[in-house]
Structure 1
């Protein structure tokens, strides 16, 4: 037992005498502490500690936590360890550093290259190369457009008594298609979705889109003369099966101001064009030999920010295109018009994802959007009916025809003509929203199908129209002729469903509609009463003809087919 000389004073917290106790609640606070009581409590004598002398030991699992020296020193660093170059359309240069983080010298014995055609190293002497303690050396890795189409290279630094340092370089070599199309017949653009379609015998469909974005292709005719003729021939001979940096020709614009060599910004209008951050753009002069491909880092409405500076000066009036990577779908045949002039028809398939904002019309009826835009009718539009007909024919007697759904599905031709980039962008957004055959939309005939003959009261749900045979052939469950669009000269539009039809006399039919119009409508107020059909596109492919660039005229056409989505 140990004995200590000393004295005891009251403490704010007093506990039981035992040094260890299970009675934790025995701890209490002594509130009555004063200096007088403290001085009066001093006792002379010796203090005996009766605490246990044995220590209770516990075992814990632990891991070693490295310190700064262990993390950064006594090793060799390669920075970076990987270069992902993406699309290589011009010489790409990147700095790569090797740092001897040892406190003693090291020696670089050799540098090995694997699958590194078209890749060079510069900036340091050839091995063997000494590294002093804590010394860093920087190499410049240059990847040119010459070499295999797919870059998958390894560069290995071998240092004395160290593990090899391996730099992995990946990317795709592409070259620009610098030839300008001939606009005499325009540029054809194709958008192709893919829809899985399951149809029941009643005509109800289940439609599933199988592509996140459509396949996109461009087709145009080209003329090459003089030096450009030889360049076209050599380009197809040497690069015909590889990936091209294809200008999106309809999105051309001319630079309004000079872009100086070394500039990191190109002033331009990016709205409603196919520019995208991380993508490419092409600057082109008057010939196919004057061009430069630049990488876009960021976009603004009036400029593109480049990842690297431009290499040469581009005057005002130079052409600027967005770029998509693309491949020739087939090798074009060159037509020799003269000994210095070739023509060729080329079709390119875009090889990256062609996304675009999807926007349906804002007007809706019964939960589906309504296409209120009138079709362009400079060419004749067709209207027909499609039926689910089964034919049983044993080749000996008369064939037996069976109409499974018992109704005809209206089929309407539709054509658009857009002027300017904003209208073109709106059409593209609609086509992307329809997603080929997947999505349904209301299509009015935009024709004078019915003629109102009597005034309709605000609270009336009955319309008297000229007799056209609707009472005879009307079916409440048949798509295409049970929904109408009423357009007034004042701009008001009503969409209603026909519930029943009856003949009043030889000239007039009376229609019962699902709800009143809410306003008095006279025959003289009505501009047009058209039938409406809930439709989908009849094809997953849409062709856009760019008569000029998209500042000008573009046309597109499709066919809409009636559906019975309301029965689902």
Structure 2
């Protein structure tokens, strides 16, 4: 009987591995090598490639490069001037060369204390970042530090005005007025002297806005939480449609000349852009305007969301919410009677207004006639 034909797993008394002797009269347990059984070796197996790499150590993460603190400053809605310390740390054991400091859209910010030069090993260069209370409505600034170990970027984002993105109830009317802001000084003899606190009459806006559903919730929250904030107040009566957006997204071509729009062509430094399909809003600052050509030039490029679509431009002025009175119309539907007053500190320079005198000593004239249909001038 050969081993290949024997059913040795079922045969009683036979070991698991057997081998027949040459004469067939006896059987013995073979050696492991002769039986073909692999010998076990207590050694570490060879590593198999898994496509993964060992993580960096703390020394690799920290040293041998340059670090910028902070790398991003998100201020949200500005309530005043904000300052931050900026530190460029050379975490290498050789000198670090700072070759240049460049910026994109730096208007409204200043960075001082850090200049091109050499930073010693493990040394630092410290500076001061200041975000001003006045500047573009939407601050999106990037400072780039070009070093011998690569680039480091500092990104600053902030908003200076709180948008009021609600359209009025046109059937209730819309009222725009002008008011003077003066101060009276009296002497010991009873004489008075009046001085204007504003360079020109301040604008006021009174309107009724409506809201229901999510729109009503946003309106309710904005009215209650924004009473001490500076609003970007929209002048809805001068809204214009955008015909085209420039390739760099920093120029808007309107549907025609806007010389007849007094605020948009003469007094406006801020605009609100409304994308009607997605009901998205954004504020932007104007760098220049061409009323005859129907073109507005922005101080910073628009976001890609506003590169196309059904866009409208609405002029803004900076003002405070002075009145907000709700009225419930039906379940889930209410209207708010709101009033805004312009801030005198946000007015443009007189040189930017029509009929402005070239000589500052020449008195300013208000070349508008009163409405005699009422009680006359007071």
Q: Normalising to structure 2: TM-score of the pair?
A: 0.52
Q: Deviations over 1:445-500 (max 9, x none)?
A: xxxxxxxxxxxxxxxxxxxxxxxxxxxxxxxxxxxxxxxxxxxxxxxxxxxxxxxx
Structure 1 vs Structure 2 CA RMSD: 4.7
Partner of 1:134: 97
Checking the alignment, whether the CA contact within 8 Å between 2:250 and 2:298 is kept in structure 1 is yes
Change (3 A) 1:280 1:194: closer
Tell me whether 1:220 sits opposite 2:207 in the alignment: yes
Distance 1:345 1:178 in 2: 15
Shift of 1:272: 3.5
Partner of 1:306: 298
Partner of 2:188: none
What are the equivalent positions in structure 2 for 1:223-372 lying under 5 Å apart? Answer: 223-255=210-242, 257-259=243-245, 262-268=248-254, 269-273=257-261, 274-275=263-264, 279-286=269-276, 289-301=279-291, 302-311=294-303, 312-313=305-306, 318-330=311-323, 332-351=324-343, 352-353=346-347, 356-357=353-354
Q: Deviations over 1:157-202 (max 9, x none)?
A: 898555622222223632211101112132111211256899xxxx
Shift of 1:343: 0.5
Checking the alignment, whether the CA contact within 8 Å between 1:112 and 1:155 is kept in structure 2 is no
Change (3 A) 1:278 1:337: closer
Shift of 1:228: 0.9
Checking the alignment, whether the CA contact within 8 Å between 1:334 and 1:343 is kept in structure 2 is yes
Which consecutive unaligned segments of at least 5 residues does structure 2 have? Answer: 1-63, 78-87, 134-158, 186-190, 357-363
Distance 1:170 1:243 in 2: 15
How many residues matched? 249
Partner of 1:111: 69
Partner of 1:185: 172
Change (3 A) 1:206 1:165: closer
Rg larger in structure: 1
Which consecutive unaligned segments of at least 5 residues does structure 1 have? Answer: 1-105, 120-125, 144-150, 199-204, 360-428, 435-440, 442-536, 543-554, 562-568
Distance 1:128 1:227 in 2: 50
Q: Could you say what secondary structure the match of 1:228 adopts?
A: helix
Change (3 A) 1:304 1:114: closer
Distance 2:283 2:217 in 1: 21
Partner of 1:166: 128
Distance 2:183 2:127 in 1: 50
Checking the alignment, whether the CA contact within 8 Å between 1:258 and 1:313 is kept in structure 2 is no
What are the equivalent positions in structure 2 for 1:530-541 lying under 5 Å apart? Answer: none
Q: Could you say what secondary structure the match of 1:166 adopts?
A: strand
Shift of 1:556: 7.9
Match of 2:376 among 541, 552, 559: 559
